[in-house]
Amino acid sequence: MNNITLTELISPNELQEIVRRLGSEINRDYQDKPLLVVCVLKGSFVFMADLVRRLTCPLEVDFVRLASYGSEITSSGNVAMTKDMETCVDGKELLIVEDIVETGHTTRFLLDLLQSRHPAGIRICTLLKKTVPQKVEIPVHYAGKVIEDHFVVGYGLDWDEKYRHLPGIFKINRK
Ligand code: IMP
Ligand code: MG
């Protein structure tokens, strides 16, 4: 039986506050430098859409889709790219936009892949970061909020492809 209830963890207002702060940090660091902002699908699509509207530097956007195979909710480290970017990365400043960093496997995979394409630099921005010890070290330059080890949905994040459209972040309670 799937007896699921949701508890709000981050309200839509707080999310907008977080995005505003992250936008200011990124604007301060990049100023007029052109940026290539890379959205990691699917989970980052809502966050990315809000974040880029806070950025004032000249920018391009592109999208990758990563899938991790393993258990339904825990990234196993077997990450694959199922959709590549269309923009040439060579010599550009990249900003990877992630929904959530848990073990770090997904982001490490993308970081290594994009690094091999010779960008001028890569930084990582994640909306959420879990307090669990990262299994793989990755440099997170911009972090929205650190959360406890709950499974969360909404604002782009899913559980079995559901709940991505919710305007806040919710904790899933399974009975
Ligand atoms: P990592 O590779 O363990 O860092 O996991 C990152 C990916 O796992 C994220 O990009 C999400 O797609 C997924 N993920 C991890 N935790 C959650 C969660 O609480 N809710 C929804 N997806 C999650
Ligand atoms: Mg994701």
Residue 151 corresponds to which tokens in the numbers above?
Answer: 């499974």
Residue 97: CB within 6 Å of ligand 1? no
Which atom of ligand 1 is least distant from the CA of 98? 10
Beta carbon of 103 within 6 Å of any ligand 1 atom: yes
pTM of the model: 0.94
Q: Is 102 assigned a catalytic role?
A: yes
The pLDDT tens digits of the residues spanning 62-115 come to 999 998 765 544 556 689 999 999 999 999 999 999 999 999 999 999 999 999
Long-range Cβ contacts of 105-109 (<8 Å, 24+ apart) = 105/68, 105/75, 105/76, 105/77, 105/79, 105/135, 105/136, 106/40, 106/66, 106/68, 106/75, 106/79, 107/40, 107/136, 107/138, 108/136, 108/137, 108/138, 109/66, 109/79, 109/81
Catalytic residue among 8, 86, 102, 137: 102
User: Which element (helix H / strand E) includes 19?
Assistant: helix 12-30
- Over residues 119-130, the pLDDT tens digits come to 999 999 999 999
Whether residue 101 has its Cβ less than 6 Å from ligand 1: yes
Residues with C-beta atoms within 5 A of ion ligand 2: 43, 99
